A and B are shown apart, each in its own frame.
Chain A
Amino acid sequence: MPRRKVVIAGVAESRFGEVPDATALQLHQEASAAALADAGLSPADVDGLFSCGADLMHPVVLGEYLGLRPGYVDGTQVGGSSWEFFVHHAVGAIEAGLCDVALLAYATTSRSDLKRRVRSANVAIDARGPAQFESAYGHTVIGRHAMAATRHMFEFGTTSEQLAEIAVQARYNASHNPLAMYRDPLSVEEVLSSRMIASPLHKFDCCIRSDGGGAVVLVAEDRVADLPRKPVWVMGAGEAISHHTMSEWEDFTESPAKRSAARAFGMAGVKPDEIDVLQVYDSFTITVLLTLEAMGFCGKGEGGPFVERGRLRLDGELPTNTDGGGLSSNHPGMRGLFLVIEAARQLRGEAVGRQVADAKLAAVNGTGGWFSSTGTLILGVD
Chain B
Amino acid sequence: MTWHLPVADIETKPYWDAAAEGKLLVKHCSACDRAFFYPREHCPRCWSKDTSWREASGRGIVYTFTVIHQNDLPPFKDRVPYVIAIVELEEGLRMTTNIEGIDPGEVRCGLPVQASFRAEQRDDDTVHLPVFRPA
Which A residues lie at the B interface, using CB under 8 A?
A: 120-122, 124, 126-130, 132-140, 142-143, 146-151, 154, 195-201, 245-248, 252
Contact = CB atoms under 8 A, between A and B. Distances in A.
Nearest to A145: B66
A146 B98 contact: no
B117 to A, nearest CB: 12
Contacts of A245: 38, 96
B63 A252 contact: yes
A31 B84 CA distance: 40
Interface string B95-112: 111100000000011100
B72 A120 contact: yes
B65 A147 contact: yes
Contact of A143 (B7, B68, B110, B120): B68
B67 A247 contact: no
Interface string B67-108: 111111100100100101110000001111110000000001
Contact of B6 (A127, A143, A146, A201): A127
A133 B68 contact: no
Contacts of A151: 63-64, 109
B5 interface: yes
Contacts of A201: 66
Contact of A121 (B8, B72, B94): B72
Given A198-B68, A247-B37, A147 B4 contact: no
Contacts of B94: 247
Interface residues of B, number: 40
Contact of A199 (B5, B69, B73): B69
A140 B67 CA distance: 11
With most chain A CB atoms within 10 A of its CB, the pick from B3, B72, B96, B98 is B96
With most chain A CB atoms within 10 A of its CB, the pick from B64, B68, B86, B108 is B64
Given A143-B68, A148-B64, A135 B98 contact: no
Contacts of A130: 38
B67 A133 contact: no
A122 B77 CA distance: 11
A135 B5 CA distance: 7
A135 B68 contact: no
With most chain B CB atoms within 10 A of its CB, the pick from A121, A124, A140 is A140
B96 to A, nearest CB: 5
11 contacts: A126-B3, A127-B4, A136-B129, A137-B131, A147-B86, A150-B109, A198-B66, A199-B67, A245-B38, A245-B96, A247-B37
Given A146-B66, A154-B64, A138 B72 contact: no
Shortest 5 CB-CB contacts between residues of A and residues of B: A146-B66, A132-B6, A151-B64, A138-B76, A154-B109
B129 to A, nearest CB: 5
A147 B7 contact: no
Contact of A197 (B64, B69, B93, B95): B69
Nearest to B12: A132
A303 to B, nearest CB: 16
Nearest to B95: A247
B45 to A, nearest CB: 12
A252 B72 contact: no
A113 to B, nearest CB: 14
B9 interface: yes
A134 B68 contact: no
Interface string B32-72: 00000110000000000000000000000001111111111
Nearest to B88: A247
A142 B84 CA distance: 12
A230 to B, nearest CB: 44
A121 B77 CA distance: 12
B68 A138 contact: yes
Given A128-B7, A147-B86, A136 B120 contact: yes
Contacts of B37: 133, 247
A149 to B, nearest CB: 8
B7 A197 contact: no
Interface in B8-33: 8-9, 12
A140 B68 CA distance: 8
